[in-house]
């Protein structure tokens, strides 16, 4: 009988695929969810099994607002939160409710490649804007705004996927000002914002939600578990109305009421906070170890910054290096990564590669760096 599949990921034994961007089995919190579920299911309240309130379980939103207020160091109002089944669904709904096929949107170059798949599902025309070490270049945005009218800009302001950069506070403010002046929305994908383990991160763009142009996407995928399919949009109530009044919500009710109720317990019992601290400690350790191993095993011509948050190291090889060839050699060595062109439609960052620390534990990350070093050496010998 063919193997019965359960999870999206299919990591062949022996392969260290550093291209993965999801938590590995050791970080999936089974015991935590067992406690949270036992707590919630013993309350004798069956409402979590009814069709959910359209905006999302009110008690869950209050718990989430309190958690986010503490984490962000900014007041977050439960009325500004709409519960989603993950950031991907949030993004899909934004496209469905705020755009029409053929509309123009702006994205960063490079950007999260699977967001590009969602934009393609909605027939959106994507215009790419350059970034530097402080994130999106605002002057480039201003130039493009003179020629195009986007419905929204999609940005990953904190611990960018894949470039790992942080949009500066000044640029965040300028971006919000431009969105008001030019009447476009900011879709801020802030799924890594809470994963700072050292870096000073400016306030999330969600903090500007009151201004009425920002839709901030958050997710439990990166701070608890992706299988929960639970996330949120933080935005002004007038924008959230569009979600709440949509046909999808009218027919199916609020998204994920059962999971929301369990995660409410995880937050109220302090388990989410504890888990996030554990993740930050674990990822900080892994990131340092991978950085050190890469410095040991890769030639100095391969440059990268040592991130203090998020999941990714963005390697920059010399321009002209054929990353696809290196990837083929790496695979022969049982190691892999995400080549830069996946994030950029084949332009600009072809000499780059994304490595992630979320799936593998430190010894495997170190072994992966060693194997990658051998593949790069082989490539350089052959050219
Ligand atoms: C930038 C970014 N946005 C969204 C997602 C997906 O989030 P979710 O699991 O909440 O749909 C990911 C996951 O890799 C991501 O890196």
265 alpha carbon – ligand 1 mean position (Å): 23
Domain presence at residue 7: no
164 alpha carbon – ligand 1 mean position (Å): 14
Domain presence at residue 209: yes
Domain presence at residue 9: no
Domain boundary among 223, 255, 272: 272
The CATH number of whichever domain residue 369 belongs to comes to 3.90.1150.10
Domain boundary among 246, 272, 298: 272
Q: Are 50 and 153 members of one domain?
A: yes
Q: Are 164 and 220 members of one domain?
A: yes
Note the pLDDT of residue 199: 83
Cα separation, 329 vs 58, whole angstroms: 52
Note the pLDDT of residue 9: 87
Ligand 1: which atom is nearest the Cα of residue 219? 10
Q: Are 35 and 168 members of one domain?
A: yes
Q: Are 342 and 209 members of one domain?
A: no
Domain presence at residue 154: yes
pLDDT along the chain (383 residues), means of 10: 82 94 96 98 97 98 98 97 98 98 97 96 97 97 98 98 98 98 98 95 97 97 98 98 98 98 98 98 98 98 97 96 96 97 82 97 98 97 91
Note the pLDDT of residue 1: 59
Contact 205, 187 (CB under 8 A): no
The CATH number of whichever domain residue 211 belongs to comes to 3.40.640.10
pTM score above 0.85: yes
Tell me the per-residue pLDDT of 87-123, one tens digit each, with 9 for 90 and over.
999 999 999 999 999 999 999 999 999 999 999 999 9
Q: Which domain holds residue 34?
A: 30-272
Q: Which residues, 6+ apart, have CB-to-CB distance to 42 below 8 Å?
A: none
Tell me the per-residue pLDDT of 238-261, one tens digit each, with 9 for 90 and over.
999 999 999 999 999 999 999 999
Note the pLDDT of residue 346: 57
From the list 83, 140, 101, 25, the residue with the least C-alpha distance to 257 is 83
Q: Are 283 and 247 members of one domain?
A: no
Cα separation, 243 vs 246, whole angstroms: 5
Task: Give 3-state DSSP helix, strand, coil % of the chain, rounded to 5.
Answer: 45, 15, 35
Domain boundary among 254, 272, 290: 272
Looking only at the bridges linking them, the beta strands covering 16-17 and 335-336 are parallel
147 alpha carbon – ligand 1 mean position (Å): 30
Buried b (16+ CB within 10 A) or exposed e, 251-288: eeebbbbebbbbbbbbbbeebbeebbeebbebbbebbb
Q: Are 222 and 342 members of one domain?
A: no
Domain presence at residue 20: yes
Q: Are 185 and 117 members of one domain?
A: yes
Kindly list the protein residues whose Cβ atom lies closer than 6 A to any atom of ligand 1.
21, 86-88, 112, 156, 161, 189, 191, 219, 221, 226, 231
Q: Are 97 and 66 members of one domain?
A: yes
Note the pLDDT of residue 336: 98
**Residue of 94, 160, 163, 191 best suited for mutating to test ligand 1, as the one with most atoms within 8 Å of CB:** 191
């Amino acid at each position: 009988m063919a193997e019965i599949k359960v999870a999206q990921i299919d990591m062949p034994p022996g392969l260290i695929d550093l291209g993965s961007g999801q938590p590995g089995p050791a970080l999936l919190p089974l015991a935590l969810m067992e406690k949270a579920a036992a707590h919630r299911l013993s309350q004798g309240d069956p409402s979590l099994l009814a069709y959910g309130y359209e905006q999302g379980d009110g008690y869950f939103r209050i718990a989430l607002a309190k958690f986010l207020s503490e984490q962000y160091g900014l007041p977050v109002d439960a009325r500004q939160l709409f519960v989603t089944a993950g950031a991907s669904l949030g993004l899909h709904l934004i496209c469905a409710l705020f755009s029409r096929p053929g509309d123009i949107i702006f994205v960063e170059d490079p950007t999260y490649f699977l967001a590009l798949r969602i934009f393609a599902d909605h027939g959106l025309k994507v215009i790419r804007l350059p970034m530097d070490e402080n994130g999106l270049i605002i002057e480039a945005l201003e130039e493009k705004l003179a020629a195009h009218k986007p419905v929204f800009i999609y940005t990953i302001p904190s611990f960018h996927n894949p470039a790992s950069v942080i949009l500066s506070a000044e640029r965040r403010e300028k971006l919000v000002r431009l969105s008001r002046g030019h009447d476009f929305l900011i879709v801020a994908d802030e799924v890594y914002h809470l994963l700072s383990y050292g870096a000073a991160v400016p306030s999330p763009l969600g903090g500007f939600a009151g201004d009425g142009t920002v839709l901030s996407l958050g997710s439990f995928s990166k701070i608890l578990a992706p299988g929960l399919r639970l996330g949120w949009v933080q935005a002004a109530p007038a924008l959230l109305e569009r979600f709440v009044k949509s046909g999808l919500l009218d027919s199916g009710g609020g998204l994920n009421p059962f999971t929301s109720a369990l995660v409410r317990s995880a937050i109220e019992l302090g388990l989410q906070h504890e888990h996030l601290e554990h993740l930050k400690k674990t990822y900080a350790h892994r990131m340092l170890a991978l950085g050190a191993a890469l410095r040991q095993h890769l030639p100095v011509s391969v440059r990268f910054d040592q991130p203090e948050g998020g999941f990714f190291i963005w390697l920059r090889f010399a321009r002209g290096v054929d990353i696809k060839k290196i990837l083929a050699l790496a695979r022969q060595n049982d190691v892999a990564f995400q080549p830069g062109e996946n994030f950029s439609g084949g332009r600009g960052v072809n000499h780059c590669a994304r490595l992630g620390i979320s799936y593998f534990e430190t010894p495997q990350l170190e072994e992966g760096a060693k194997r990658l070093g051998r593949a790069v050496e082989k490539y350089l010998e052959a050219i």
